[in-house]
Structure 1
Amino acid sequence: MTGTAPPAATPACTRLAKALQDLKSRTGLSLTALAGRTAYSKSSWARYLNGSQLAPREVVEALCALAGQPPERLLALWELAEVEWSGRHRTSAAPSPLPARPAGDAATGDRPAHRWNTRRRRALAAAACAVTLAAATWLTASRGTHTEGAAGRTAPSAAPAPGCRAEKCTDEDPETMGCAVPGQTRRVDPPYRTRTGARLVVVLSTRCHAAWALGWNTRPGDAFELSVPGGAVERVEVADALDAEDPLFTPMIDAGDLSGLRTCFIPAVGRQECVTAQG
């Protein structure tokens, strides 16, 4: 992508730029060093990081690799930002009015969707505060002269032991439990694109032996589930426009046996779509 930022408000583009600034701070690398380690110039990196130009997908992947960060969440945010940048979000049809949703059935073990989404919004708010602080630190540091070498870099700290493993992770948050650790997660299969344009991918944590579904490009009223035959069914619903702005993930399930691992997308209007993992 080239040129300056589009005139319309682009919240996803802004969040992406801040997230890239956070990753850049984690690497401890200057703009010159980033240019030396990638195929992109110092001036290009400056534009990607300050949000005046949308970073290509390959830049996001490269910076995640340099920072030791799993790319799935940031690539999902990149897709949202790319839709904004291209202007396609202004021509998309508005979603239809939503039917009333039940509050959950204690007899079957279903949990009210609002409880998980409230937890998710709080986590996103905390993450946004952390990203803003990191961005401010980066902007302050970038005004000075950068020096290269190991002495000027921050060594990554060792990840603490996970808070759960296998079946103990069922119904737990992958971030809170320390299962979404850089270098110890992988996609089970490539992202699945639904008829509405939403994307779903199953993420596996090798350190926790647990999995969760990650979805983006959703609309209020959409929902998606992750399940295994005879086991737990974990579900998350897109409660409102705030939920729809960012990638959402389900609670985890035990991933000791991936056979039959199934993801289902339930749109606010339309037919359910399900896919069984191949990996």
Structure 2
Amino acid sequence: MTDTAPPPACKRLAEALQDLRSRTGLTLTALAECTAYSKSSWARYLNGRQLAPREAVEVLCTMAGHPPGRLVALWELAELEWSGRHRTSAAPPLPPPDQPVGGEAPAHRWNTRRRRVLAAAACAVTLAAATWLATFHVTHTGDTAGRTASSAGPAPGCRAQKCTGEDPETMGCAAPEQTRRLGPPYRTRTGARLVVVLSTRCHAAWALAWNTRTGDAFELSVPGGTVEQVKVADSLDAQDPLFTPMTDSGDLTGLRACFTPTASRQECVHVHG
């Protein structure tokens, strides 16, 4: 990638990362101290001159207390643009290097990523606590311990049937380390991509789509259950990955994802766990 204006998805990702960095209140120097990435690397990630690694996106989401699902999906779209693979129509996009299709990341890679994410989160908490103490001259260790404990991710807001119809990010079900794709992304005739994501934490699934157009719709359904559907309302919706509400994944038999473009017939994919 040459030093030119970043592609659209890469630009949106950089802007989202800038917003997350602002939420943390951390300087680039502090980010470098908290993570495995240098100050200059973070500067390039935030201004869009270089695509941030997926792990850096996850780390910053964790530090800002932001659900990572949508940002990780946007990263996947940005990675396609950055690598030029979005211009290849012969095959669907590959998953990120550390996430094999249809399975969990290898244990040693996930453990390394997990340690880095947790370390970054702990560092951010420490810096925030230090700033608070310096400002207000408070030395109550109990309060500091309480803030540190509260930084841990909350329990999911639903499980199995109770997740049906709910938003996966809002309910805390979209953490990348606790989700997996049920098969490779399906490439539709219009170029849109459709994939079903399973949350092992919430025992629920949802459909995720990108490269869509205004008026497109996609859905996820199970026999005898409700149909969870999303319609691309406008160009803003079409710019980013969208996902359906969740459905109970207790029985994956008959789970089906369908994509209905504005000017063509519906395409459906049967998904197996």
Q: Following superposition of structure 1 onto structure 2, how do residues 28-67 of structure 1 map, counting pairs within 5 Å?
A: 30=30, 32-33=32-33, 37=36, 42-51=39-48, 53-55=49-51, 59-64=53-58
Of 245, 261, 264, the residue aligned with 1:267 is 261
Match of 1:254 in 2: 248
Distance 1:183 1:88, change over 3 A: closer
SS of corresponding position for 1:172: coil
Q: Is the CA contact (8 Å cut-off) linking 1:70 and 1:182 kept in structure 2?
A: no
Q: CA deviation at 1:262?
A: 1.2
2:48 is aligned with 1:18: no
Letter in 1 for 2:159: R
Distance 1:254 1:55, change over 3 A: same
After superposition, what is the alpha-carbon deviation per residue over 1:165-221, rounded to whole angstroms, capped at 9, x for unaligned? 211221222223332245333322232222211111212222321111111110011
SS of corresponding position for 1:234: strand
Identity of paired residues, percent? 69
After superposition, what is the alpha-carbon deviation per residue over 1:27-52, rounded to whole angstroms, capped at 9, x for unaligned? 97845447x736xx64333112122x
Q: Is the CA contact (8 Å cut-off) linking 2:17 and 2:60 kept in structure 1?
A: no
After superposition, what is the alpha-carbon deviation per residue over 1:3-38, rounded to whole angstroms, capped at 9, x for unaligned? 1325xxx6643331133345667697845447x736
After superposition, what is the alpha-carbon deviation per residue over 1:81-108, rounded to whole angstroms, capped at 9, x for unaligned? 467779999xxxxxxxxxxxxxxxxxxx
| 1-structure distance, mates of 2:256, 2:206 | 11
Aligned residues: 212
Of 173-182 and 261-270, deviating more is: 173-182
Distance 1:239 1:88, change over 3 A: farther
Q: Is the CA contact (8 Å cut-off) linking 2:67 and 2:172 kept in structure 1?
A: no
| 1-structure distance, mates of 2:217, 2:55 | 27
Q: Is the CA contact (8 Å cut-off) linking 2:163 and 2:204 kept in structure 1?
A: yes
Q: Is the CA contact (8 Å cut-off) linking 1:227 and 1:234 kept in structure 2?
A: yes
| 1-structure distance, mates of 2:255, 2:25 | 35
2:127 is aligned with 1:152: yes
Higher helix fraction: Structure 1 or Structure 2? 2
- Give the TM-score normalised by structure 1: 0.62
| 2-structure distance, mates of 1:161, 1:31 | 27
Gaps of 5+ in 1: 90-147
Q: CA deviation at 1:234?
A: 1.0
| 1-structure distance, mates of 2:272, 2:175 | 23
| 1-structure distance, mates of 2:260, 2:74 | 21
After superposition, what is the alpha-carbon deviation per residue over 1:41-64, rounded to whole angstroms, capped at 9, x for unaligned? 64333112122x1406xx124442
| 2-structure distance, mates of 1:212, 1:191 | 13
